Structure 1
Amino acid sequence: MLPFRAAIFDMDGTLTQSTHIWDGVTDRYIEQLGHPLPEHYYQRIQGRTYEQAMAWLIALYGLNKTPGQMVFEQYQMIRNRYCAVPLKPGVLPFLQYLKGEGIPCAVATLADPRVAKEVLGAHGLLPYFAAVVSAVELDDKPKSDPAVFLEAATRLQTPAGDCAVFEDSLLAVETAKGAGFRTAAIADGKNAAQWDRLCALADWALHDYRELIPAAE
């Protein structure tokens, strides 16, 4: 039996192999609007959510758009590819196992809720989640703030200490751990340089979700 009563999953890089999917999208999008991407843009927006980054560009260029509109328009540029990215190894068997054990699950993501639900739906994963919580619904708080995890735990009616948070981001694992959650680090191409630190910090470090399914099952 697993030592938690509820599970909370990030989406990109945790459920889906999609951390690369936004690479270069903002560059192309801003160029289509007639502006260059600002110098050192990605260093300047570190620590911000996607919508916060768009708000910065709106202020910089005086764009007549909302941050949410800009994010969704960029999503439309990659929609087909995004909905077709592979799942992380073992995701579906693990979700099926959790459902069979009566362990409720939620998604906690920085993604626009419309995007998250469409991508999860395209993979047939929505029925496994009792809630999909987006930071966009919580004043766009980044994952340096535990708000999105705490809201997911609330919707699952389970205290943080009885929930496991599955994440590929070192920052998110640190945040969840600091808020009292159990944590599982999920290997991804973009966290290879931080993998040793993730292994030392998280309760579990996984390359395949089936590693957590008891052998007897």
Structure 2
Amino acid sequence: MIKAAIFDMDGLLIDSERIIMQACISAAQQVGITYTQADYVELIGRAGPDSTRIMTAQLGDTERFNLVMQGLDAQLASLNNTFPLKPGARALLQHYQAHDIICSVASSSASHHITQRLSQVGVSNYFQHITSGQEVERGKPNPDIYLLAIYKLGLPAEACIAFEDSEMGARAAIAAGLKVVVVPDLIQPSDFVREHCHQVVTTLDDWLKLIG
């Protein structure tokens, strides 16, 4: 019996990945650098240090990385760093709350980004625990962040279900022994993830219909 649900945030609960990707591409263009969606998807689901290392290599050097990041920060600041909820997110959280299923977040994002983004869309009160990529040495696809989230819940892995949009995140949750529901955002799951996850659905609404 499922007693807890562990959610990724960016691209799963919050529709942020697409907006950040377009801002990255635009910021690069403004300083004469070509950056593509194919480049960006390599970062999805990864912890900050891993994303920085990969993006620096993609752009060529630290100076170019810093230029793009300055432009990205400016564009996101103009949006007040606010991103909309994904379809079905609030309804699923309400459903789990009504059925006494504990909800938590396991996100590679920094803890202040997690609390800010969840608060801005009015869903922070649904979560009993938040686990950020800053709390573990190894980011997704390593299982560490999910193992820590499970530890905080005080439950066995088989009593928890995880929700992920990315390849790296799904692999991390699978490696932690969790039942995993994948809701693809910018990229479709690999054959490995499809074979080892519990279900692939188009939206969180679709999952709610399955369990409702």
With the length of structure 1 as denominator, give the TM-score of the two structures: 0.74
Stretches of structure 2 that go unaligned for 5 or more consecutive residues are: none
Q: Does 1:135 align with 2:133?
A: yes
Of all paired residues, the percent bearing the same amino acid is: 25
| 1:185-214 deviations in Å (ceiling 9; x for gaps) | 1132x124x377654432122222422442
Match of 1:203 among 191, 198, 207: 198
Quick check: 1:18–1:82 contact (8 Å CA) kept in 2?
Answer: no
8 A Cα contact 2:27 2:69, kept in partner: no
Contact 1:50 / 1:71 at 8 angstroms: preserved in 2? no
- Does 1:191 pair with 2:187? yes
Change (3 A) 1:89 1:27: closer
Runs (4 or more) in structure 1 with deviation over 6 Å come to 70-73
Deviates more, 1:129-138 or 1:198-207: 198-207
The structure-2 alpha-carbon separation of the partners of 1:213 and 1:82, relative to structure 1 and needing over 3 Å to count, comes to farther
TM-aligned CA distance change 1:137 to 1:186, over 3 Å: same
Distance 1:149 1:191 in 2: 21
Aligned match for 1:177, one of 161, 174, 193: 174
**Deviation digits for residues 95-141 of structure 1, max 9, x if unmatched?**
111112111111111111111111110111100001111112223x2
Q: What secondary structure is seen at the aligned counterpart in 2 of 1:132?
A: strand
2:15 alignment counterpart: 17
The corresponding residue for 1:113 is: 111
Distance 1:38 1:132, change over 3 A: same
Amino acid in structure 2 at the alignment position of 1:109: S
> Does 1:168 find its partner at 2:169?
no
* Residues 51 and 71 in structure 1, CA contact (< 8 A), matched pair in contact too: no
Q: Which amino acid aligns with 1:142?
A: G
The offset of 1:28, in angstroms, is 5.9
C-alpha distance in 2 between matches for 1:7 and 1:27 = 34
Does 1:61 pair with 2:62? yes
The letter of the residue matching 1:117 is: T
Distance 1:164 1:106 in 2: 10
Q: Which residues of 2 match residues 31-180 of structure 1 at below 5 A?
A: 42=39, 49-54=47-52, 57=56, 60-61=61-62, 74-75=72-73, 77-79=75-77, 80=79, 82-85=81-84, 87-139=85-137, 141-180=138-177
- How many residues align structurally? 203
**Structure 1: gaps of 5 or more residues:** none
Q: Following the alignment from structure 2 to structure 1, what is the Cα–Cα distance between the partners of residues 90 and 169?
A: 23
Instruction: Tell me by how many angstroms 1:60 deviates.
Output: 4.0
Give the letter for the 1:153 counterpart: I
> Could you say what secondary structure the match of 2:147 adopts?
helix
Is the alpha carbon distance of 1:172 and 1:72 closer, same or farther for their aligned partners in structure 2, counting shifts above 3 Å? Answer: farther
CA 181–71 in structure 1, closer or farther in 2 if over 3 Å, else same: farther
Q: Which amino acid aligns with 2:147?
A: L
Query: Deviations 1:66-87 (Å, cap 9, x if unpaired)?
Result: xxxx9799456314264132x2
Asked whether the equivalents of residues 28 and 71 of structure 2 are also in contact (C-alpha less than 8 Å), the reply is no
Contact between 2:28 and 2:35, CA under 8 Å: does it hold in 1?
no
Please tell me the root mean square deviation across aligned C-alpha atoms, in Å.
Answer: 3.6
